[in-house]
Structure 1
Amino acid sequence: MRGELIDRAHDDYDRARQLYNGMVDKRPYLIARCANAADVISAVDYGRENDLLIAVRGGGHNGPGLGSCDGGLLIDLSAMNGVRVDPARRTVRAESGCTQGDVDHACHPFGLAVPAGIVSTTGIGGLTLGGGHGYLSRQHGLTIDNLIEADVVLADGSFVTASETQHAELFWGLRGGGGNFGVVTSFRYRAHPVGTVHAGPLFWDLADAREVIRWYRDFLPQAPEELCAFLGLKTVPSTEPFPPEIWGRKICALICCYNGPADEAEAAMRPIRTELPTPILDGVTDMPFPALQSLFDPLLPSGLQWYWKGDFVRELPDGAIDTHIEHAAKAPSELSLMHLYPIDGAVHRVGRDESAWHYRDATWSMVIAGIDPDPAGATALTDWARGYWEDVHPYSMGGAYVNFMMNEGQERIRATYGDNYDRLVEVKRTYDPTNLFRVNQNITP
């Protein structure tokens, strides 16, 4: 290997095995910090030949810690973080160890961006393979809708490129099917014109939440696709840059991003400012897109305690709204939250059988996350998130964004893929019949 092998006796072992979720502590037998695709092939071969459990880590943000394992081989892709932008073709080649911030940084000088998530420290590998949604989804679709091809190391150690014309069934499965089929070493994406956006947060006191959410459910589906606004029920963190007079207040928030003609930005935002109560904070302004992408990074460093649950949501009836507000008022920490991410617009223009992502008719992807730096609060976070989810789940569509799932069992995985599940099983049988890659939301062959 050109990269580094780290065993339990290595001075860097404890740092190298850390995951984003501080609630998860795993101790792999060996960490292969790969430098290139050849290293990945060597690592996969070694793991297979020695009958080791194999986990693959890019950014390490996976909630239940599926980017590592106990006693097995961790294939660490974080050193594979090269990005090449082709501004003429508006395409981006990114190695699978890149974070979203790496890709944003490389694309921004060319006035381009790849549709992805909302936290810049997220690894593009897991985000892409799970689907990928964020500020540009309404306008340009999911991350997988902008994936052109992927280079993949398969369970037998072979290396293939998957696209619409090569290994097309594998390419279909990679777009939403997670890490079930191999180790992706690089992705090639379509990029879109994105430079300065009119964006930022607006906060209302939780007392206004019912009015804000009812308005939002009617406004969003008919809003221009250049405007994304995700809804959050949160607590204002007691830290800068927030004004001290609102620290600790329970709030309803809209985090907005308008990516259209600059002279139309104010008009696009006008309904939010004229049809709703006056917010207690209005942080919407012009900013470079990478600044928006990294806006919340300081609040969410690695090592916090996390427990999350998700669902796809089509409608927000009054009963659901009341249930959300009831549980948001009981949030056990300042960082705990509920977000509704819009996935309509361009996402709806792709058929549910065109990729592994089944819920093409959902309006929102919901996540409930209990978050706190103190390990002593882990039980309270978990209980709050589970109880909240159990009460709002009856208003959902049944499945969830795979990247917002914990270890929830096979029935839940089936619900997430719906009618696409059986086809995913066939792809798994073709490309990983022995289930070598099973540290994931597993499709059992």
Structure 2
Amino acid sequence: MNATSLDSLREQVRGQIITPGDSDFDAARAVHNGMIDKRPAAVVRVSQVADVIACVNFARDNSLDLAIRGGGHSVPGFGTWDDALVIDFVNTSGIRVDPAARTARTEAGATWGDFNHATHAFGLATTGGIVGTTGVAGLTLGGGIGYLARKHGLSCDNLLSADVVTADGKFLTASERENEDLFWALRGGGGNFGVVTSLEFRLHPVDMVHAGIIIYPMEHAETVAKFYRDHIDSAPEELSAFLAFALGPPVPFLPEEWHGKPVVAVIGMWTGDQAEGPSRWKPFLDVAPVVGSMVGPMPYPALNQAFDPLVPKGLQGYWKADFLAELSDGAIAAHLEHGSKVPSVQSVVHVYPIDGAVHRVGSSETAFANRDMKFAPIVAGLWPDPADNEANIAWVKAYAAALRPYSAPGGYINFMDGDDLPRVAENYGPNYARLRDIKAKYDPQNLFHVNQNIAPA
């Protein structure tokens, strides 16, 4: 891209355009995963929808790759790309809450920390992620698994509408009443269909929760895992908890001798009557010896951001994921073998429950098709030193391979890495053909391909 053509873009946008010659280029091109080292042609920190339209038209007319960045948490680094034009929403994170209607509209650059801060002021929330720095838009477009999923469904199940700039530069609103096919595809289909500039969500009464972070020695992992599996299956949907394999984190409620030691944990919250909170966590406190715990009332945003200090921007990252119809004894055995070898305090393995409200949406009602799965495990390799890349990537791959015989064919696209692109069709299962048709309608030339890509039919 030459300077003359870039000057024409500068005349059309009000946001900042950062190019390789600028002093802040290295900061502008960086995403959350420190392993990603891409050099885009330009990063445009858009200020409004008009900037987005100009960027889409410019990339299309100049045959440029186009990367879209909300929170920048894409593990494959899809928020940046070599020689591409990057649309960066870092400066657009406004949120408007309507407490009477119990809805909120957010711009595409907001994180879940931003969103929860805005909605908590009214005692409201919707399903977000597990880490507060994750972008609202990216998580939602891929589905959106989080603490509130059992009670209130996925993030995409709570999406009421979205504003989208399509490949032809048109501005559309997608909802149950307008552009219904696009709305269907956005709820799980990722960033394949356009640039989402704002999202409107349904909110639920969620204020103080009774949180639980309970840590056990790894030697009791089998007992804990089997109890967790059986207990969560019959627990009220107000109890949302996931199983974790990790190294003991440096937190005040865990004795120092357990820092960096292999542990198993149960983490989550009770959103029902707060008086019931202690009794809801007592079975987890009694099932096996506990080396550290924090159980008690907490504002929902505080739990949603509790792990942010452990995952700062710049860590090396490599992830793998599948879905489980059941947390079988074989799957638990694989977790015991590889969960005891977690290589860094930042690396974690989480097994998220996706039953309850998630199952009350039909598999063909949204692009997210995996509505008969009970668990979504993630093997999230995160570590600070690039010298450890080879060994830690090998650990992630071996762990994922050990789980594969007990897993469904597809996986959760928000947890997929760059080498998982061949799995896109199986990730969407019976919805893939319809997604390809909608892709062909809204993006026939595949302008939006820097993602877990759905090829146009």
Using the size of structure 2 for normalisation, the TM-score is 0.96
Name the counterpart of 1:270.
Answer: 282
Name the counterpart of 2:435.
Answer: 424
With over 3 angstroms needed to count, the CA separation of the structure-2 counterparts of 1:297 and 1:284, relative to structure 1, is: same
Contact 1:306 1:381 in 2 (8 A): no
Name the counterpart of 1:108.
Answer: 120
Contact 1:414 1:421 in 2 (8 A): yes
Shift of 1:240: 5.0
5 Å-filtered alignment, 1:148-167, equals 148-167=160-179
Name the counterpart of 2:290.
Answer: 279
Contact 1:131 1:357 in 2 (8 A): yes
Name the counterpart of 2:400.
Answer: 389
Name the counterpart of 2:10.
Answer: none
CA distance in 1, matches of 2:342, 2:261: 11
Q: Does 1:200 align with 2:212?
A: yes
CA distance in 2, matches of 1:164, 1:108: 27
CA distance in 2, matches of 1:410, 1:14: 27
Shift of 1:158: 0.4
Contact 1:344 1:362 in 2 (8 A): yes
CA distance in 1, matches of 2:224, 2:138: 33
Name the counterpart of 1:71.
Answer: 83
CA distance in 2, matches of 1:409, 1:136: 27
CA distance in 1, matches of 2:367, 2:187: 6
Name the counterpart of 2:155.
Answer: 143
Cα RMSD after superposing both structures: 1.1
The amino acid across from 1:57 in the alignment is R
Shift of 1:86: 0.1
Contact 2:41 2:83 in 1 (8 A): yes
CA distance in 1, matches of 2:161, 2:342: 41
Shift of 1:107: 0.5
Shift of 1:409: 4.7
Q: Which moved more, 1:308-317 or 1:421-430?
A: 308-317
The amino acid across from 2:434 in the alignment is R
CA distance in 1, matches of 2:97, 2:421: 39
Q: Secondary structure at the match of 2:197?
A: strand
Contact 1:200 1:292 in 2 (8 A): no
Q: Does 1:317 align with 2:318?
A: no
Shift of 1:331: 1.9
The one of 46, 64, 68 equivalent to 1:56 is 68
CA distance in 2, matches of 1:238, 1:105: 26
Q: Does 1:28 align with 2:40?
A: yes
Name the counterpart of 1:356.
Answer: 367
How many corresponding residue pairs? 444
Q: Secondary structure at the match of 2:322?
A: strand
CA distance in 2, matches of 1:401, 1:303: 23
Q: Does 1:380 align with 2:380?
A: no
CA distance in 2, matches of 1:227, 1:139: 8
Contact 2:35 2:386 in 1 (8 A): yes
CA distance in 2, matches of 1:338, 1:72: 33
CA distance in 2, matches of 1:312, 1:442: 19
Contact 1:66 1:439 in 2 (8 A): yes
Where does structure 1 lack aligned partners over 5 or more consecutive residues? none
Shift of 1:247: 1.0
Q: Which moved more, 1:220-229 or 1:242-251?
A: 242-251
Q: Secondary structure at the match of 2:319?
A: strand
The one of 184, 190, 197 equivalent to 1:172 is 184
Shift of 1:238: 4.2
Using the size of structure 1 for normalisation, the TM-score is 0.98
